[in-house]
Amino acid sequence: MALLLQFVFRLAFGLSLAMSVVPSRRVSSGYYRVHLYVVFGLHVLAATLHFLDSSLTPLWVPLTSAALAFVGTVVWFARWHRLGVFLLWAIAGISLWGAWEGIATSKIEMSTGAAGIATTEASNSKTPTAWIAWADCATGGLVLGTTVAAMLLGHWYLNSPGMQISPLRRLCLLIGLAVLLRAAISGYGTWEVWQSKAGLAQVDWLFIALRWLSGIAGVAVVAWMSWKTLDIPNTQSATGILYVAVILAFIGELTAQLMGSRFDAVL
């Protein structure tokens, strides 16, 4: 459950931050109002997980973010753009803190044999330092959040067909930037695991390959395809391609979390 909680916090962080960089003067306020309910739901799920296991995270983290998300729906309904963006930043910050808090818990869970994949060889690997752990949460959340935010924005063109394409282009660029940052952090972590001689088996390398092919290379290629599709322009086709980006990002990041918890590393 600790890994699920961390995934939820990372997604909430990235989605909130990605929505905050979408130019609100070019996108109808309904985009923010409706999809803040998604953020609200993520934090309600996080609070539910707390009641199942109170050691996972302090209850104030999901409750505060859920309350801010609900208030944000009212703020965006009133079209108070600046206050709405500020609330998105606040939610993103609290969500990132929740993801950071969940790292230690997830490693304890995996080290005690959760999911049946922890091995004694994993103890030989090097525990991530604070900065790499923070970077892991932030970059992983950005990849998840930017892809989901872009896909949701693509859908919003069905409600507001007169919107400019530039906001969706901005999110496609942000996906590319997030993937580059994630590749740098994951590359560093993978190199650390290899140097630590943590006893990587063939199946471990297969999962690491899946992580890179899906969550890094796959997302980058699909984001580029969406960018080129917007040259036509065809927002519906770009949205369909972004669906694939979301699936690839989810597979890549979940695999990275599982393998990272096994080897006490960032992958």
CATH number of the domain encompassing residue 176: 1.20.1630
Within 8 A by CB and 6+ apart from 154, the residues are 168, 235, 236, 238, 239, 242
Give 71's Cβ-side CA count (13 Å radius). 14
Write out pLDDT tens, residues 220-254: 999 999 999 999 989 999 999 999 999 999 999 99
pLDDT of 110 strictly over 50: no
More confident residue, 156 or 121: 156
Task: Using pLDDT thresholds of 50, 70 and 90, give the confidence band for residue 104.
Answer: low
Range of the domain at 149: 2-263
pTM given for the model: 0.90
The whole-number pLDDT of residue 126 equals 46
Mean pLDDT of 209-224: 96
User: Which residue has 């970059």 as its token pair?
Assistant: 139
Q: What letter represents residue 141's amino acid?
A: G
pLDDT tens digit sequence for 126-167: 445 778 889 999 999 999 999 999 999 999 998 888 889 999
Number of helices (H), then strands (E), belonging to the chain: the values are: 9, 0
Q: Which residues contact 163 (CB under 8 A, 6 or more apart)?
A: 26, 27, 28, 156, 157
Show the tokens assigned to 203: 């199946």
pLDDT at position 38: 97
> Percentage of residues in the chain with pLDDT exceeding 70?
89
pLDDT of 265 = 81
Number of separate domains in the chain: 1
Residue 34 has pLDDT above 60, yes or no: yes
Closest alpha carbon to 89 in 21, 136, 26: 21
